[in-house]
């Protein structure tokens, strides 16, 4: 598939019980975490399709991808991530999109199902005057990274302590060392822990109808209340 101009790539993990959202699964169970993550995928794809850029899905998983296809329409192209770690999987994905004609490419994760599409649009605009754009996550990582043709640098994705609070600072250090310019977007949050899920719930109390994730949480409120994380059913009279 040939691409021109912008390209938006969603990084997601093949949804299999016991292999996704493991920190949430420790509290809420493997099946719940799997079904919840499936809703994350639906929401982030819905958000991505509102952005003025062709969408491609990059799936991490050694099991056949067809099992994941119900989470997106068949007209959305996809490929399997390759590389020994997250950094090389992102680097290889950027390389892939640029080889197919993209001039600007942004990668987002699938752990922020309420990420405003305005942030993604703003990130593409930031690449007009910068080599790299990053969306900082509250946990010290990032939920978004983008670059443009001719500025991709392998060193920026190498030697990072992934899944630690040092991901963002380590990446910025490498960007500076490589002599690249960068822009930081507004911070946002990933949903990895029960506290993150609670934050999402509070932030989206009026978005039940438009959010697959919120609908799922409402439908499973009995289980959530048993875990004593402060969830409470929304009044149907107050829903928009």
Can you give the pLDDT at residue 209? 81
pLDDT at 232: 54
pLDDT at 52: 95
Q: Which of 217, 172, 209, 221 is nearest to 191 (CA)?
A: 217
**Residues of the chain where predicted confidence (pLDDT) is lower than 70:** 1-4, 62-71, 227-240
Distance of alpha carbon 63 from alpha carbon 175, whole angstroms: 34
Give the pLDDT confidence score for residue 237 in this predicted structure. Answer: 34
CA pair distance 202, 9, nearest whole angstrom? 28
The pTM (predicted TM-score) of the whole model is: 0.91
Number of neighbours of residue 220 by Cβ within 10 angstroms: 15
pLDDT of residue 130: 98
State how far the Cα of 161 lies from the Cα of 52, in Å rounded to an integer.
33
pLDDT at position 71 is: 67
Q: Summarize pLDDT for 38-81 with one digit per residue, the tens.
A: 999 999 999 999 999 999 999 987 655 555 555 678 889 999 99
Whether the CB-CB separation of 78 and 147 falls below 8 Å is answered with no
Q: List the structure tokens of 200.
A: 């999402």
Tell the residue number behind the tokens 């062709």, with chain if given.
54
Please name each of the domains of the chain with its CATH number.
5-184 (3.90.550.10), 194-238 (no CATH)
Q: What is the pLDDT at residue 20?
A: 92
The CB density around residue 121, as the number of other CB atoms within 10 Å, is: 17
Place of tokens 């930081």: 184
């Amino acid at each position: 598939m040939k691409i021109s101009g912008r390209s938006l790539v969603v990084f997601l993990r093949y949804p299999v019980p016991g292999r996704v959202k493991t920190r949430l699964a420790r509290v809420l169970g493997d099946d719940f975490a799997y079904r919840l993550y499936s809703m994350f995928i639906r929401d982030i794809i819905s958000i991505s399709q509102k952005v003025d850029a062709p969408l491609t899905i990059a799936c991490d998983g050694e099991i056949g991808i067809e099992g994941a296809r119900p989470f997106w329409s068949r007209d959305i192209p996809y490929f399997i991530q390759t590389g020994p770690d997250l950094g090389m999987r992102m680097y290889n994905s950027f390389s892939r999109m640029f080889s197919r004609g993209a001039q600007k490419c942004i990668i987002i994760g699938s752990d922020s199902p309420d990420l405003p599409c305005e942030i993604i649009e703003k990130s593409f605009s930031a690449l007009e005057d910068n080599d790299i754009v990053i969306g900082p996550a509250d946990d010290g990582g990032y939920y978004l990274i983008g670059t443009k043709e001719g500025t991709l640098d392998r060193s920026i994705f190498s030697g990072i302590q992934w899944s630690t609070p040092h991901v963002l600072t380590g990446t910025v250090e490498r960007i500076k060392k490589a002599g690249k310019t960068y822009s930081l977007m507004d911070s946002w949050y990933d949903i990895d822990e029960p506290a993150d899920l609670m934050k999402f719930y509070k932030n989206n109390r009026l978005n039940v109808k438009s959010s697959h994730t919120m609908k799922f949480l409402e439908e499973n409120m009995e289980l959530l209340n048993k875990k004593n994380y402060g969830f409470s059913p929304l009044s149907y009279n107050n829903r928009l």
